[in-house]
C-alpha cells in the first residue's frame, strides 16, 4: 500500500477586527511577504517545490471522448427510469409534478406558498440574495396555463428552482456574492438556466454564496450568512450555501450550484441533499462567472438522486458557446436501477478513515449497501494526495486572483477573509502554477490507474459534519483554514482531475447532522454514479430538516 500523506493543517482562526488587521498585514509589502511565507509553509505548500516532476503540464482536465458537431442533436435522454427511481416520501420534482397532474395543486399555488415559506424562515439567514416574486409568479401562471391545456413543456414545468448567484439569470444581476459585480441585470440566461427554463422551471431567484466562491463555508459579510436547516447554529458549507439550504429547507427540490473545490458536494453533504459535480466539460459554463477556469464545474443539487439525475439530464450536453463541451459522449442515464452486479468499488482505507468516527461508520454502511446491490469491494491506493491538495490550492487560488485582477479598483470592497485568500494567491509564482499543472497530469494518471481496477471510488464527502458558525453577527466574516481543509479533504482531487463525483446522504451523526458519502467515477461515467447513488439512498433512513429553528 502506498504511503498516505494527508495530515491535519493547523492555521490561524480569525474573525471581525482581528481578521481585517490580518488581511491588511498580508497585503503590506514587507511584513506581508514574511507572513505569507510562514502561512504557506504551515499549509504545506513547500511539498510542491520539493517534488520531482517529470510530467508535462496539463492545463485542463479535459478527456476527449469524441469531437461533437455543435449542430448535431444527440437522441433525447430517456427519462423513464426516473419515474421508477422517484421517492414519494420527500419533497421532489416528481412529487410536485404529480400534484399538478392530479389537480391537487398548480404552479401558481405552489410558487406562492414557497415564497411564504421563504419569508417565514428567518432562522436560516439569507438564503436568497435576490428574489423577484413578480417574475416567478408570471412564469408560474404561464406554466398553469400549459397544464390546464394539457401541454406541459417538460418534466420541470412549474417546478421551483434556485440559482446560485454565480450564473446569469435574466432580469437579475450576477453579483457573485460581491457588492461591486452585477451592476446591471443579465440580459440573457446562462446556458444551463436556459435549458431548465425550456423545460418549464420556475426560478425563485438568486441564491446566496460565499463571496466569489473562494471558501467552502456559508459566510458572506455583504448579504449575511446562510444557516443550516438541520441546525441554524451550524454552517451549510459552501460556496453553494444558498442553493443547498434552499433544497434542504424544501423551498425547491432542485437548485443550480458551482464547484471549484467541492462547492456543490460539501454543502450537499452538510445539508442532507444530493450534489453532482459532473465530468469537466460535460455541462456548459457559458453565462457563468469566470472564476476558476480549469477546476470549475456547474451542476445540480437536489432532494434525491432522481431529482439530480433529472437536472443533470436537462443541463448536460454540447453547447457551441463552450468549446470544452464539444468533446463529450452522448448524455445517458442508463437503467438507473441501483443494481451494481459486475461492478467494483474501491476504498483507500487510510484516506477513507481520516474523518470523524461517525462519518466513517456511516460511510462504511454505505459501502455495505453498495455491496448488497451487487458490487465487489476492492482495496485501492490513491497516491500523491498531499501534493495534489497543494496543486489544487495553487491552481484555484491563482485563477481566482487572476479573475479579480480586472476589478482592482474594488479590492477594498472585498471581505477580509476573501482578501486573505487572494493575498496568499498572489504570493504564488508562475513556476508554482506550472508545477501545479504537472501535478495535475500525475494525479490524472494515478486516478486512471485506480479506475483500471475499480469502477467507483468511495470516500466520505467531508471529514467533519456541519461545524458551528463561529460568529454572532451574520455579516461578520471569518477565516478558519484548518476547518476548510477538513471540509475539502475528499473534494479537491476531482476538481483537479475533472472526474465526476456525487455526494449522497449516508446518514446522520448523534446530533442529527447529515453525513454524505462520495462516489467518484471515470470521466463521462455520471450514469453509473447516479445508479450507485440510488443503491445507497434506497437503504438510508431519511430525516427531513426541521420546518423551523424552534
CB 269 within 8 A of CB 502: no
- Rounded to whole angstroms, the Cα distance separating 12 from 10 reads 7
Using alpha carbons, select from 396, 369, 95 the residue that is nearest to residue 250.
95
- Number of residues that make up the chain: 550
- Rounded to whole angstroms, the Cα distance separating 255 from 262 reads 16
Beta strand 231-235 pairing with 344-347: unpaired
**Active-site residue, from 239, 241, 427, 503:** 239
**Active-site residue, from 164, 194, 206, 343:** 164
Is-catalytic flag, 531? no
Is-catalytic flag, 239? yes
Is-catalytic flag, 164? yes
DSSP string, 470-535: --SSTT--EEEHHHHHHHTTTTHHHHHH---EEEEEEEE-TTS-EEEEEEEESTT-HHHHHHHHHH
Handedness of CA 248, 249, 255, 258 (dihedral sign): negative
Per DSSP, what are the bridge partners of residue 502? 276, 519
CA–centroid distance for 61 within its chain: 17
- Rounded to whole angstroms, the Cα distance separating 507 from 541 reads 7
Cα angle: 276, vertex 273, 236; to 5 degrees: 105
Please enumerate in sequence order all residues whose Cβ is within 8 A of that of 479, keeping only pairs 6 or more positions apart, or say none: 12, 13, 14, 15, 19, 22, 215, 416, 417, 420
Using alpha carbons, select from 536, 534, 500, 497 the residue that is nearest to residue 517.
536
- Rounded to whole angstroms, the Cα distance separating 222 from 165 reads 13
Using alpha carbons, select from 145, 265, 139, 302 the residue that is nearest to residue 205.
139
**Active-site residue, from 15, 240, 241, 263:** 263
- Rounded to whole angstroms, the Cα distance separating 13 from 19 reads 8
| Angle between helices 357-372 and 526-537 in degrees, nearest 10 | 100
Catalytic residues: 164, 239, 263
Amino acid at each position: 500500500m502506498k504511503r498516505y500523506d494527508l495530515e491535519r493543517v493547523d492555521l490561524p482562526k480569525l474573525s471581525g477586527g482581528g481578521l481585517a488587521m490580518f488581511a491588511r498585514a498580508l497585503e503590506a509589502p514587507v511584513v506581508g511577504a514574511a507572513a505569507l511565507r510562514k502561512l504557506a509553509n504551515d499549509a504545506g505548500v513547500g511539498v510542491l517545490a520539493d517534488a520531482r516532476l517529470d510530467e508535462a503540464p496539463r492545463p485542463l482536465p479535459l478527456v476527449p471522448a469524441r469531437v461533437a458537431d455543435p449542430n448535431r442533436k444527440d437522441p433525447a435522454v430517456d427519462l423513464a427510469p426516473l419515474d421508477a427511481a422517484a421517492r414519494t416520501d420527500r419533497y421532489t420534482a416528481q412529487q410536485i409534478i404529480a400534484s399538478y397532474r392530479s389537480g391537487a395543486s398548480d404552479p401558481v399555488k405552489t410558487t406562492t406558498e414557497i415564497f411564504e415559506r421563504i419569508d417565514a424562515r428567518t432562522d436560516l439567514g439569507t438564503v436568497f440574495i435576490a428574489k423577484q416574486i413578480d417574475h416567478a409568479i408570471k412564469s408560474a401562471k404561464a406554466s398553469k396555463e400549459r397544464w390546464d391545456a394539457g401541454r406541459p413543456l417538460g418534466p420541470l414545468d412549474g417546478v421551483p428552482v434556485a440559482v446560485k448567484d454565480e450564473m446569469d439569470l435574466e432580469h437579475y444581476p450576477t453579483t457573485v456574492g460581491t457588492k461591486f459585480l452585477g451592476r446591471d441585470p443579465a440580459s440573457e440566461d446562462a446556458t444551463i438556466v436556459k435549458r431548465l427554463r425550456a423545460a418549464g422551471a420556475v426560478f425563485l431567484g438568486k441564491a446566496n454564496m460565499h463571496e466569489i466562491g473562494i471558501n467552502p463555508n456559508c459566510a458572506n459579510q455583504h448579504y449575511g450568512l446562510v444557516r443550516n436547516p438541520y441546525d441554524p447554529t451550524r454552517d451549510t458549507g459552501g460556496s453553494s450555501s444558498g442553493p443547498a439550504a434552499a433544497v434542504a429547507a424544501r423551498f425547491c427540490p432542485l437548485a443550480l450550484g458551482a464547484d471549484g473545490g467541492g462547492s456543490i458536494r460539501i454543502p450537499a453533504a452538510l445539508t442532507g441533499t444530493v450534489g453532482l459535480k459532473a465530468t469537466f466539460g460535460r455541462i456548459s459554463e457559458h453565462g457563468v462567472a469566470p472564476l476558476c477556469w480549469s477546476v470549475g464545474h456547474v451542476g445540480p443539487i437536489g432532494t434525491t438522486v432522481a431529482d439530480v439525475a433529472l437536472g443533470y439530464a436537462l443541463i448536460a450536453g454540447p453547447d457551441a458557446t463552450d468549446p470544452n463541451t464539444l468533446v463529450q459522449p452522448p448524455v445517458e442515464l442508463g437503467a438507473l436501477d441501483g443494481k451494481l452486479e459486475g461492478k467494483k468499488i474501491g476504498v483507500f482505507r487510510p484516506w477513507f478513515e481520516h474523518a470523524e468516527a461517525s462519518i466513517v461508520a456511516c460511510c462504511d454502511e454505505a459501502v455495505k449497501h453498495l455491496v448488497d446491490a451487487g458490487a465487489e469491494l476492492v482495496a485501492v491506493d490513491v497516491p500523491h494526495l498531499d501534493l495534489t491538495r497543494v496543486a489544487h490550492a495553487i491552481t484555484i487560488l491563482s485563477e481566482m486572483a487572476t479573475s479579480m485582477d480586472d476589478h482592482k479598483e474594488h479590492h477594498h470592497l472585498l471581505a477580509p477573509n476573501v482578501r486573505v485568500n487572494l493575498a496568499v494567491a498572489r504570493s504564488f509564482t508562475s513556476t508554482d502554477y506550472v508545477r501545479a499543472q504537472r501535478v495535475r497530469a500525475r494525479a490524472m494518471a494515478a486516478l486512471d490507474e485506480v479506475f483500471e481496477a475499480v469502477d467507483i471510488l468511495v470516500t466520505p464527502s467531508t471529514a467533519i459534519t456541519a461545524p458551528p458558525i463561529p460568529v454572532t453577527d451574520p455579516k461578520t466574516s471569518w477565516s478558519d483554514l484548518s476547518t476548510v481543509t477538513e471540509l475539502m479533504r475528499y473534494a479537491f482531487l476531482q476538481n483537479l482531475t475533472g472526474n465526476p463525483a456525487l455526494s449522497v446522504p449516508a446518514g446522520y451523526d448523534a446530533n442529527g447532522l447529515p453525513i454524505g458519502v462520495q462516489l467518484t467515477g471515470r470521466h463521462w461515467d455520471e450514469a453509473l454514479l447516479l445508479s450507485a447513488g440510488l443503491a445507497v439512498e434506497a437503504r438510508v433512513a431519511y430525516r427531513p430538516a426541521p420546518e423551523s429553528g424552534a
